[in-house]
Structure 1
Amino acid sequence: MPIIITIVLLSILKYFEIGPFANMSWWWVGGLTVFAFIWFEFVEPIFGWDKRKAHKEMENIRDERVKKTFDTSKNKAKRR
């Protein structure tokens, strides 16, 4: 995500010719965009970094659901 923010920020600074970015070449923005594309389309899937994050989130949701279920059942048993 930081690389996407950097691309957007560089594009804005270059477009409005702010500071030293006025003289910067558009190739820097284009090169960074190509790098981000290659990273997100090829590198992350090869190493499984995209799936690992999704699996971790699903595991956390499952753990919270199980914890909530068992905490609720314990509270009901104490009331009886």
Structure 2
Amino acid sequence: MPLIIIIVSLIALKYFEIGPFAGISWWWIAGLMGVAFIWFEFLERMFGLDKRKAHEEIEKTRKERVKKTFDSHKRR
């Protein structure tokens, strides 16, 4: 996500010609977009980062459900 924020910021700085970013080439920004595309489409899947986030969400939800169930049984 930080890569996307950097890309959007660079696009805005280049478009509005702010500071030293007015002089950079659009190719640098396009190159960063290519890196982001490769990261999110291929490398993240290869390293299993997309699945890890999903598993963490499921595990968190499961733990909350178990805790809520045991808390309700203790009250009875």
* Band the TM-score falls in, shorter-chain normalisation: over 0.9
AA paired with 1:35? V
List runs of 5+ in structure 1 lacking aligned partners. none
Q: Which residue of 2 aligns with 1:21?
A: 21
Q: Which residue of 2 aligns with 1:34?
A: 34
List runs of 5+ in structure 2 lacking aligned partners. none
Q: TM-score, normalised by structure 1?
A: 0.92
How far 1:28 moved relative to its partner?
1.0
Aligned length: 76
AA paired with 1:28? W
What secondary structure does 1:54 align onto? helix
Q: Which residue of 2 aligns with 1:70?
A: 70
What secondary structure does 1:68 align onto? helix
Matched, 1:48 2:48: yes
**Regions of 4+ moved over 4 Å:** none
Q: Percent identity?
A: 67
Q: Which one has a bigger Cα radius of gyration?
A: 1
CA deviation digits over 1:23-42, x for unaligned, max 9? 11001110000000000000
Q: TM-score, normalised by structure 2?
A: 0.97
Q: CA RMSD in A?
A: 0.5
